[in-house]
Amino acid sequence: MRSLGVLLALAVPFGCTPAGVGGTRTDGGDDRDAGGRPRADGGAAPSDGGGEDDVDAEPDSPPFTCEVTDPGSPRLGAVVRTDPADPHPGDTLVVVVHSYAVDARDAPQMTLHVRAADGERDVSPTTIAGGKAVYYFAVSALALGDVCLEGIVDGAADVAARVPVTPRPAPPAGAQGIYKVVANHQWSCDEEVENGVALRAVVRGADGNPVPGAVVRLDWPATVERPIYNDRPPPEQTLIPPSMVTNDEGVAELMTELGDGNRFPKNEHGYMVFNLSVDGAVSDVATEITTGWWEADAAGCRYCDGTRNVWGHWSHTVEFQLDPAATEACVVPIDHQGMTRCSVIHIHHDPDRQACWAIDR
């Protein structure tokens, strides 16, 4: 069985820094919203311009604020990382709690207590993975203002963090629609290439014809710091470009073959996920794209039968098509076709609620 988070060396922009523990943000924000995603109506309604009846009207309420106290993680020796680094209303906030003291098999039950503008709620983990325990939580339908998080173990807070949710940036000027993800396909064991991993992106226009020269962004979340090779230095930045460009058939593909000189990177902070979107346009975001799955699930079921060297090295095909009539953009998880033989793992999305936001154009 491979180490947690063994991943495809595809396209990982450097310089991402995760949110800190106890509410201290160290990432400095994200200066570009993945895929040029549109602004959601997360704030108070704007004034209608005044009038005599509005003289004594109450001013708009300020965004919700809250505070947390860092408990120091006495039980788990854990840190908290969140994604996206700069969340906006309508997003799902992925919260990764990574223990450096407790193994996954011994991980105690943890509930994430959430305080936000829309009230308080308790969230259970979607996945617990790792050698050392890595808890994944999904806090969906974010509201404008602070989100305060406390990881509760045995009735007491063990970790805490505060994350501000800010207004969504405006979409790119002149947007003619939304590039919707019509397929985010994880290859089955039968489809998978042997001794390698492929990532294929397809971009089509509203008429279904290919879009040559489209730039597909490959972003990696703020829940990881950078790829780390298996006992080797990370690759040069030129080997992991932040985007790929479609050919005349509207297809872009990256391929990594296994070999002694071509190792997959891993990250000890959990699964390193790629988020794909069409650059310079309003676009859905395809998520969960990673080769960092275990070969077997927690019950010992092998995802592939072992007759071919594919293991958990999942390849993916993401298809985008422009929809001029679309009214919202969404984050789209994989179809989990590579996991049909065993239990399905969900990361970086809420399996019960898709993250979408209204466009404003």
205 and 92: one domain?
no
186 and 333: one domain?
yes
Tell me 120's DSSP state: E
120 and 208: one domain?
no
> How far, in Å, CA of 138 to CA of 147, rounded?
13
Please tell me the predicted confidence (pLDDT) of residue 73: 97
92 and 219: one domain?
no
Please tell me the predicted confidence (pLDDT) of residue 311: 63
Domain that holds residue 222: 178-358
231 and 286: one domain?
yes
227 and 110: one domain?
no
165, 192, 218: which is the final residue of a domain?
A: 165
Please tell me the predicted confidence (pLDDT) of residue 41: 34
CA dihedral 92, 216, 230, 304 (to 10 degrees): 80
| Residues of the chain under the 50 pLDDT cut | 1-59, 228-231, 237-238, 260-263
Structurally, the chain folds into a number of domains equal to 2
343 and 235: one domain?
yes
The residues near 99 (Cβ < 8 Å, ≥ 6 apart) are 73, 76, 77, 78, 107, 130, 132, 133, 134, 135
Flag whether 105 is in a domain. Answer: yes
Closest CA to 80 of 233, 279, 222: 222
Flag whether 251 is in a domain. Answer: yes
Flag whether 353 is in a domain. Answer: yes
| pTM of the shown model | 0.78
Spacing of C-alpha 41 from chain mean position: 22
CATH number of the structural domain spanning residue 29:
2.60.40.1930
Please tell me the predicted confidence (pLDDT) of residue 52: 37
